[in-house]
Structure 1
């Protein structure tokens, strides 16, 4: 079992890494950036690549024996390494490229510590695998306290929709029961998961396959779990191999309401 000291040391690495990436994202914001086409309408910018390099420099310096899976650089490090860092240097690339500041820098140790940086607010959300807190701009730390009080639910509408026609997140927004209880938001960045853990959002819903080892989602999922949120797939099962999508809710009641709506939408789509 991981010791508290080990978890704290790993969270320090994660925090330092996302801060290094966030510095690059802020520095390059608003400039003319070359794009790297990934196909299917997806792309990276020079900022994505530079931020990932800054993050990897921190991990290599502090954890030279660990492996890394990066959004831009792929698998790096020893194949047989017992530890792997998952790195998404700029989640919300399209937002960033068009001058929208809603982005996140994500770093997670698989099965352990994680951190998410908001480059423009200066906030860093972190977990050592057990506790979850936010490092404020004033340097003070405060525990994350999820709440559904805002009633705001972020829904990921990006294709593909692997669960269609049974379920598409966009159909959830059209359900009358959704509008009676919640208010939709679409930020197109996994910063929304950190906001669920911090009480700025009531929930987050996305379709997809196994997201537990995703460089995009691993850090946010770790934050939500450590903060005490209810986290499952869209089928209500565990997030993991064989799972589908993600529902991260501030509390069990909000999660139950959303699952009831999802089941209803799915039944209509079948």
Structure 2
């Protein structure tokens, strides 16, 4: 078990607090708050974020916080900043689909040193302290073990697409090599990133600029601690080059996906 009072235990507790709100409000008529075309928050997003932030601010009053709904608060240039996504999969949740996550991560300097991703409806919390990667069920922690055996690859099809037209994740689904080797999934929540660390997915692919992403920081840290192969879509280190994310359970799966992504780039020349 984790020591009480540590950053990672706080991340787990905060994610659980948000998950409890998400469970409680599930199925209720929820007010929607428009953010941009096709994107909105619900009353559950706001309530879950408040529960998380109340806990973080009480325990770590000097830390900065970046919340999906409330933005950044705290001292500018703070060495420690919490990244909070209170309901990843709002569109799913709004139509009573239970595929959602609650993500809490702590960045200290340039490193994610603690992170938790809660599945509100399976009562699981995936967590890492930067070295171990575990899942907590019924109060017990078990180590995560990545595996490519499922051949399931989640592909994020949501915008923005900063590398279009040279790369579009949707084109992977039409690639003959992809169809021969993998089976696609489109979960539309970063819970799927944690599933790669847990051996429930072979890989995950998305475009986008992900530095300090409240959506992805925790899942990326989980996969790195679990021993997954984690790079940008061009195979370079994260947050360099073209950006994006390819996280795979093993080097062979990662290399295969990079080859297919490379085929897209070559075909556009």
**TM-score greater than 0.5 by the shorter chain:** yes
Under TM normalisation by the shorter chain, which class is it?
over 0.9
Confirm or deny: 8 A CA contact 1:178 1:261 kept in the other structure.
yes
Call closer, same or farther: CA 1:25–1:258 in 2, change over 3 Å. Answer: same
Q: Helix, strand or coil: the match of 1:106?
A: strand
Give 2:185's aligned residue: 185
Q: Helix, strand or coil: the match of 2:173?
A: helix
Call closer, same or farther: CA 1:259–1:6 in 2, change over 3 Å. Answer: farther
Runs of 4+ in 1 over 3 A off after TM superposition: 5-8
Give 1:197's aligned residue: 197
Structure 1 regions of 5+ residues with no counterpart?
Answer: none
Give 1:148's aligned residue: 148
Residue 10 of structure 1 pairs with residue 25 of structure 2 = no
Q: Matched residues in 2 for 1:113 and 1:26: separation?
A: 24
Q: Helix, strand or coil: the match of 1:38?
A: strand
Structure 2 regions of 5+ residues with no counterpart?
Answer: none
Confirm or deny: 8 A CA contact 2:93 2:99 kept in the other structure.
yes
Q: Matched residues in 1 for 2:211 and 2:199: separation?
A: 22
2:50 to 53, 56, 59: 53
Q: Matched residues in 1 for 2:116 and 2:185: separation?
A: 23
Give 1:39's aligned residue: 36
Give 1:265's aligned residue: 264
Structure 1 or 2: more strand by fraction? 2
Query: Normalising to structure 1: TM-score of the pair?
Result: 0.95
Confirm or deny: 8 A CA contact 1:104 1:118 kept in the other structure.
yes
Q: Matched residues in 2 for 1:212 and 1:147: separation?
A: 26
Q: Matched residues in 1 for 2:268 and 2:57: separation?
A: 47
CA-CA distance at 1:8 after TM superposition? 8.1
Residue 107 of structure 1 pairs with residue 108 of structure 2 = no
Confirm or deny: 8 A CA contact 1:8 1:128 kept in the other structure.
no
Q: Matched residues in 2 for 1:99 and 1:135: separation?
A: 25
Q: What is the 5 A alignment of 1:127-166?
A: 127-136=128-137, 138-166=138-166
Query: Normalising to structure 2: TM-score of the pair?
Result: 0.95
CA-CA distance at 1:129 after TM superposition? 0.8
